[in-house]
Amino acid sequence: MKLSKKSEYGLRALLELTLAYGTATLQRHDIAARQHIPVEFLEQILLALKRAGLLASRRGMKGGYTLIKSPEEITLGQVIRILDGPLAPISCVSKTAYQKCRDCPYANKPQCPVQHAMGPVRDAIAGILDHYTLADFTSGHHHN
C-alpha cells in the first residue's frame, strides 16, 4: 500500500517542471536542489518520465528538461503507474495490468471475496489519482 520514493520524487520533480512550464527548462541539479533529491537518482526518474513521453530534454550546455504536455493533461495516476507500476492493490483487480491470480481457489470464479473487497479499493484510488492533474497538484503552491 505504499508509494515509493521514486514516485514521490517524481511527483515533486514534476511540480517544479510544472511551475516552469512554458517559461524555462530546468536542469537535474536545479530540481534536485529545490526538492532535496539525490541528483543521480533523480536522473533515472526523469529519464523514465521522458521515455514515457511526459518530458523532453536537451543535452549539453543550457540543456535541461521541460514538460512536453500541459499540466492539465497529466494525472498523478499516470505518473505513479510509470514509476511504480499498477495502482491496484492486487493484480487480479487491475484494469491496466490484469493478471489472473494463480493458486487462488477462487481464481476465475465469479465471487472471489478478495476481488470483491479490493475492486472498490482500486477504483477509489484510481478515481482520485486519475482525476488529479499536475495543475491541481501545483495549485495553491507559491515558491518561497
Partner DNA sequence: GAATTCTTGACTAACTCAGTCGGAATTAGA
Partner DNA sequence: TCTAATTCCGACTGAGTTAGTCAAGAATTC
Q: Which residues form the interface with DNA (CB under 7 A)?
A: 4-6, 27-29, 38, 40-41, 43-44, 46-47, 50-51, 57-65, 84
The three cell numbers locating residue 12: 515533486
CB 97 within 8 A of CB 86: yes
Q: Which does 28 bind (CB under 5 to 8 A by kind): a second copy, DNA, none?
A: DNA
What backbone phi and psi angles, to 5 degrees, belong to 45?
Answer: -65, -45
Q: Which of 19, 17, 21 has the alpha carbon at shortest distance from 139?
A: 19
Q: Is 31 in the site for a second copy (CB under 8 A)?
A: no
What backbone phi and psi angles, to 5 degrees, belong to 65?
Answer: -120, 145
Q: Is 62 in the site for a second copy (CB under 8 A)?
A: no
- Binding mask 113-142 vs a second copy (x if CB under 8 A, - otherwise)? xx-xxx-xx--xx-xxx--x---xxx-xx-
Q: Which does 129 bind (CB under 5 to 8 A by kind): a second copy, DNA, none?
A: a second copy
Identity of the residue, 68 or 101, whose beta carbon is nearer to a second copy in the bound complex: 101
Q: Which does 86 bind (CB under 5 to 8 A by kind): a second copy, DNA, none?
A: a second copy
Distance CA(19)–CA(139), nearest Å, equals 10
Task: Return the CA Rg of the chain.
Answer: 18
Q: Is 84 in the site for a second copy (CB under 8 A)?
A: yes
